[in-house]
Structure 1
Amino acid sequence: MKKIFIIIIATAISAIGCSSDTPKNTQFTPSGSNDDTNDSFILNPNDTQNYMVNPNATQETVALFYNLKTLSKDKFIIGQQDAFNSFYNNNQGDSDIKKITGHDPGLLGSDFMFITDDNNDETASNWFYQQEQKIISDAIEAYNKGLVNAFSWHFREPYEGNSFYVSEMTDFQINNAFQSILPGGTNHEYYKQKLDKVAQITNNLIGDDGKKIPIIFRPFHEFDGHWFWWGKPYCTANQYKQLWQFTVTYLKDTKNVDNMLFAFSPDNQFSTASEYLERYPGDNYVDILGMDNYGDFNNQGEIGVTNANNKLQIISNLAKEKVKIAALTETGYAVTPGQNSPIQNLYSNNIYNAITNNNNEIAFMMFWNNTENSYYTPIPGMSDATDFIQFTEKTKSVLENNMPNMYQLP
């Protein structure tokens, strides 16, 4: 029997976003990218499906791909994980970004973690099912407001279903979890059951307009790190590709999910295009080329800004070559008042310049979630509030109030 695992939500969510890598002060320049990238390419609405994982995607999902790609030419959307249900000081109501700017973020991050938890028995009194219903409600609200929805998946190991961190797993689980969910593995049917749940939720997300809500699905992220059981030390590159390809094919072809874009997002531990693509499953299985990056903004100064920009430049160039979408899929710096101080000009200088310098085409970026004790985005009255407001008001920044219609083709 699987152990019963009860989580304190604020503690669990606050921990999972930030990778445990140690920031490096080394500086590098992009290499391995194609210098002949065609910056003049303009995606034709009628050709969009040719570049997508699912050529049979819903019209709204095709429009989302097209509009993200087009917007990235000169803008980027600002997003935040759990913006509608996780707040600094537990001050519920408007999103923390709306509290400080007057507008919601343009992208809402959610997670399939509680939805697919072994303890979710789908009864009204079940805490995990209650979280599922909140997440669904938030995603619908975001779509109705014109926001983009992005779902990550902190998938617990398949043996006891207790954790996604290797630091909390047994040696047996660490050495066998990934292989066990591959086709033919001892937990492959269990994995398919979890994908069935992901498909059920996604296929039944319906907006007030009666349309299926498109989502970005970002599984097995930060896979070049060592903290998650799907990380680089625990599976080969071919095994990672095999699982990714199976996951996409199963959702798309077996479960008929037609409202999903697929995002590939390592952590920031690469310095060349070839390193970035080491575990890339292929253009037929990826819509969005992402990167999670906390380390380069952790008191790294201008060296960190340059390093982050160079990595985003690699992704941006690859997205141009492949006609994919580039994104900074997780980032930020957690401030816990009384323990650490805000970084001066983190938002308006460091993060903004890292995204926009060298004409990078980044469609969106996402801050991790605020919690009771710490924040990635400040609230009114904090010393870095003005810096954040300036960041959101810059030329290329997009919040809810200046979002184009993401779900309609021109």
Structure 2
Amino acid sequence: MKKYSLIFTLILIGGLLSCSSSGDNDTQTDNPDPVTPTDPLTTANARSYMVDANATDETVALFYNLKKLSKTKFAIGQQDAFNGFYQNNTGDSDIKKTTGKDPALLGSDFMFITDKNNNGQPENWFQQQEVKITNDVKQAYSKGMINIFCWHLREPNHEDSFYAADMTADEKATAFKSILPGGNNHEWYKQKLDKVASVFNDLRDNSGKLIPVIFRPFHEFDGNWFWWGAGYCTPEEYKTAFQFTVDYLKNTKGVHNVLYAFSPDNSYSTATNYLSRYPGDGYVDVLGMDNYGDLANQGTAGVTRANNKLKMVCDLATTKVKIAALTETGYRVTASIPPVNGWFATDLYSVLTSQNLSVSFVMFWTNNQDGYYVPTPAASNAADFTVFCLKSKSALLDKLPAMYTLPQ
């Protein structure tokens, strides 16, 4: 599981280019703002701001519509929404159980798909997970939802864990470096990317069109809990790995249905620090941040910190014409950890909207047998979550516009 500023933008044209929206006004439209002459992003030039100039039309539309959506709303989703349930209560997503509406976004993971034990055979458990995950992605797309993948890639020496704590000191010091071009595990990494590419290229709808997805490799890299963390590679090494990943998928493997996300944890509060491992505008479509720590029952101070950090990300996204997102967050409730009063409708909503932010989406982490990030109907904070989802800037699937078609 996961753990975790203000740039003075030079683009301030009539407030339309700032990372802002019109406030929490219930009269605002559910659709993205129409293009105006002062907005740098148009349907005609969207590709010029994207990583992949050869992206499919649906992927271009997703980029454009996510950027425009953020002016009035943010999409709400959850990791493993279709197969991660509190107390293993299967069926509809826990979001739908509580609100009656489908989530707007589905989070998935390549962890099982690229596991060393996935032999591709139908009776293999890991292969079965691959089928389940990819079917969920297809189902989400058929509903009009947004899909996003992370990758808890197991370390290259034994492929047993993605946590640095499970590695020796020497393994931690060398693992990330070893997957870089020229490293002794570079071919191993390319084979893992071959699998990722095959999944992306096989994600198609009923008409055979490729399904667009957001991919955020090497996430939460500013911490030291993963073997790709900041303590185990230099900024230049991190940039090299990220750039190679994008170039290999896009140019070598012909993957053209992906938006690429840069998503550190919450340690960065200034633009300079946030960009210290940034691989460049040519490699990133989504500027994200994962943030659990500032919302771990930290009161008003934590909410303010989280909002300021997210504003920094939004300001960068405005300047660079990228998508801004809270790529992971949540407060896990268990039998021994009670909910925080107003966590959703007051605290998180303030994080996402104070200072007139334009955030495209927010994703909660997965529910499981022993705990939840999204409450089920009987939970004491179910009403809090429902109120959060009903607020004017919140968008479950029923308030999501057509994300895969460019407006005329």
Length-normalised TM-score, structure 2 = 0.93
1:328-347 to 2 correspondences below 5 Å: 328-337=326-335, 339-347=336-344
Is 1:395 matched up with 2:392? yes
Distance of 1:200 and 1:31 partners within structure 2: 39
Q: CA deviation at 1:36?
A: 4.2
Determine whether 1:386 maps to 2:361.
no
Deviates more, 1:209-218 or 1:185-194: 209-218
Matched position secondary structure for 1:45: coil
Instruction: Return the offset for 1:260.
Output: 0.2
Counterpart mapping for 1:43-122 below 5 A: 43-122=41-120
Alignment of 1:231-380 (within 5 A): 231-337=229-335, 339-380=336-377
Kindly provide the CA deviation profile for residues 71-96 of structure 1, in whole angstroms up to 9, marking residues without a partner as x.
00110000100000110010000000
- Count of matched residue pairs: 384
Cα displacement (A) at 1:175: 1.1
Deviation per CA, 1:42-91: give whole Å up to 9, x if none: 22111100000000000000000000000001100001000001100100
TM-superposed deviation, 1:207:
1.2
The residue aligned with 1:127 is 125
Are the equivalent residues in 1 in contact too, given 2:118–2:126 (CA < 8 A)? yes
- Counterparts of 2:277 and 2:169 in 1: how far apart (Å)? 24
Q: Deviations over 1:257-306 (max 9, x none)?
A: 00000000000001110011010000000000000000011011111111
Question: 1:35 deviation in Å?
Answer: 5.7
Q: Quote the Cα distance in structure 1 between the aligned partners of 2:195 and 2:380.
A: 43
* Alpha carbons 1:64, 1:406 under 8 Å: kept: yes
Secondary structure of the corresponding residue to residue 93 of structure 1 = coil
Counterpart for residue 13 of structure 1: none
Q: Once the 2 structures are TM-superposed, how far is the Cα of residue 172 of structure 1 from its aligned partner?
A: 2.2
SS of 1:327's partner is strand
2:224 to 220, 223, 226: 226
Please give the root-mean-square deviation of Cα atoms over the aligned residues, in Å. 0.9
Equivalents in 1 of 2:77, 2:62: separation in Å? 15
Residue of structure 2 equivalent to 1:40: 16
In the alignment, the residues of structure 1 paired with residue 301 and residue 185 of structure 2 have an alpha-carbon distance, to the nearest angstrom, of: 44
Residues 7, 315 of structure 2: 8 Å contact kept: no
1:174 to 2:172 alignment? yes
Q: Hey, what's the Cα distance between the residues in 2 that align with 1:34 and 1:404? A: 29
Q: Is the 8 A contact 1:37 1:317 kept in 2?
A: no
Report how far residue 104 of structure 1 moved.
Answer: 1.2
- Structure 2 CA distance for aligned equivalents of residues 358 and 32 of structure 1: 14
Q: Distance in 2 between matches of 1:217 and 1:249?
A: 13
CA–CA separation in structure 2 for the residues paired with 1:170 and 1:301: 37
1:296–1:305: 8 Å Cα contact kept in structure 2? yes
Contact 1:37–1:320 (CA under 8 A) maintained in structure 2: no
For residues 407 and 138 of structure 1, what CA distance do their matches in structure 2 show? Answer: 18
Q: 1:209 to 1:405 in 2, by over 3 A?
A: farther
Which whole-Å deviations, capped at 9, do the CAs of 1:142-194 have from their partners, x for residues lacking one?
00000000000000000110010011112221111000000000000000000
Contact preservation (8 Å) 1:33, 1:314: no
Q: Deviations over 1:8-48 (max 9, x none)?
A: xxxxxxxx2x21x5xxxxxxxx4344264444242211110
Give how far 1:378 is off.
0.3
Quote the residue 2:157 is aligned against: 159
Q: Does the aligned pair in 2 maintain the 1:346–1:387 contact within 8 Å?
A: yes
Alignment match, 1:31: 6
